[in-house]
Structure 1
Amino acid sequence: MLHRVEGIVIRSMDYGEGNKIITLCTEISGKVGVLVRGAKKVKSRHAALTQLFTYGEYVYFRNGTGLGTLNAGEIIESHHLLREDLFKAAYSSYACELLDRVLQDEETGAFWFHQLKACLASLEDNKDPQIIIHLYEMKILQAAGYGPELSVCISCGQERSDEDMLISPRLGGVLCRYCKHLDPPAMTLTPRTLKLLRLFARLDLRRLGNVDVKAETKSELKLIMRALMDMQLGLRLKSQNFLDQMDKYDI
């Protein structure tokens, strides 16, 4: 059966002497794998369609639920600027790998597709990459069913003042100081960071404007989001390791 989809390349790997297999995050078909014959050849007309971050229209043949075979395609947005910049490439790779690991094959992908599309567009538009990625991570957590509880204490259910709140990555939400004994490692956070987390929970990436966040708030936010991602999803990503190395050596 012939399929025609709009998709974003979230993974691309060599296959055999001249072929590539790409993984697409699509709007209507979720995550699909497509074999692109001859993509590694110099004169291949499909080579550009296999580049990571490429957003395009893909026409492929697939019999059953296995791997599809590309028949034709057209690039809508190449996102070549993301591949040419080390920082942008690193953040974009992380966004794609994260989605690849969380999204199951054939799972309905409209929400995931639009969030990734907005994430890559925002990175290309030179918006703050750290804020983009943390908002994207929040959307991933929510869509996967692990969105943190940020309004009331996750233990007693009481609405406390922001100054009385900590955050528990293990329990998956804010914890008031009266319930801290239930999770002694719960992390402190400033009211400013808590407000930003709540904004992330409400905001769609497609509506993100330019956000000016103080350096100390960004540092706190990074620690909290990393703890939430590690505790709730437990993924070990190569792209995350590279981002850590960039931070370590201030690349």
Structure 2
Amino acid sequence: MLHRVEGIVIRSMDYGEGNAIITLCTENAGKVGVLVRGAKKVRSRHAALIQLFTVGEFVFFRNNGGLGTLNSGEITQSHHPLREDLIKAAYASYACELLDRVLHDEETGSFWFRQLTACLNALEEDKEPGVIINIFEMKLLQAAGYAPELDACVICGSQKPDDQLLISPRLGGVLCRSCKHQDPPALAISPRALKLLRLFAALDLTRLGNVDVKEGTRLELKKIMRSFMDVQLGLRLKSQNFLDQLDKYEI
């Protein structure tokens, strides 16, 4: 059966001699794997279609599910500037790999197509990459059923002033000081960082404006969100390892 979808290339891998398999996050067909024959060969008309972050219309044959075979395609947005910039490419790769690993095929669709589109566009527009990715991570945690509790203590349910709260990635949310013994390694969190986490939880990436976050708060948010991702999802991503390496060289 012939299928026509709008999709974003979130994974691309070599297959055999000169071929490639791409994974698409599509607008209406979930997550789809497509074989692109001859894509790696010199002068292939499909070479540009297999590049990460490429947005386009893909026409492929597929019978009874499984892997499709590309018939034709047309690029609508190449995101070439993302691939040219090491930092942007690293964050964009992380977003794509995270989406690919966390969500099942049937869970990807219009919402995630829009969120990833907004994420890639924001990275290309030079918005703060750490903030963009933190919001994207929050959306993934929510979709996976691990949304953090940010308004009341996860143990006793009390609502304390923000300056009297800690945050526990292991327990899944904020912790009042009276319950700190339930998780002694719980992290300190500033009222400003907590307010931003609540904003991230409520925010849709498609409506993201310019969020001005001081460097100290960005680092705090990065540490907290990384802890949540590690503890709640336990993924080991190649793109995350690369981001960690980049951190060692950032000023």
Which interval holds the TM-score relative to the shorter structure? over 0.9
In structure 1, the partner of 2:25 is 25
In structure 1, the partner of 2:229 is 229
**Which AA in structure 2 matches 1:3?**
H
1:128 matched to 2:101: no
SS in 1 for 2:74: strand
Write the mapping of 1:111-122 to structure 2, written as runs, cut at 5 A. 111-122=111-122
- Give how far 1:68 is off: 0.2
Write the mapping of 1:39-188 to structure 2, written as runs, cut at 5 A. 39-188=39-188
In structure 1, distance between residues paired with 2:105 and 2:144: 14
RMSD: 1.0
* 1:141-180, Cα deviation, whole Å (9 max, x unpaired): 1111111010111111111110111100001111111111
Contact 1:29–1:107 (Cα < 8 Å) also in 2: no
SS in 2 for 1:230: helix
In structure 1, distance between residues paired with 2:86 and 2:234: 26
Contact 1:122–1:132 (Cα < 8 Å) also in 2: yes
Stretches of structure 2 lacking an aligned partner (at least 5 in a row): none
The 3 A distance-change label for structure 1 pair 108 and 129 is closer
1:243 matched to 2:243: yes
Stretches of structure 1 lacking an aligned partner (at least 5 in a row): none
- Give how far 1:250 is off: 2.1
In structure 2, the partner of 1:193 is 193
The 3 A distance-change label for structure 1 pair 97 and 224 is same
Contact 2:9–2:25 (Cα < 8 Å) also in 1: yes
SS in 2 for 1:245: helix
* 1:53-88, Cα deviation, whole Å (9 max, x unpaired): 001111111011210001111111000000000011
Give 4+ residue runs of structure 1 displaced > 6 Å after superposition.
none
1:216 matched to 2:216: yes
**Which AA in structure 1 matches 2:44?**
S
- Give how far 1:43 is off: 1.7
Contact 1:54–1:78 (Cα < 8 Å) also in 2: yes
**Which AA in structure 1 matches 2:104?**
Q
* 1:98-132, Cα deviation, whole Å (9 max, x unpaired): 11111212334222211111100000000011111
- Give how far 1:27 is off: 1.6
**Which AA in structure 2 matches 1:26?**
T
**Which AA in structure 2 matches 1:223?**
K
- Percent identical among aligned pairs is 75
In structure 2, the partner of 1:7 is 7
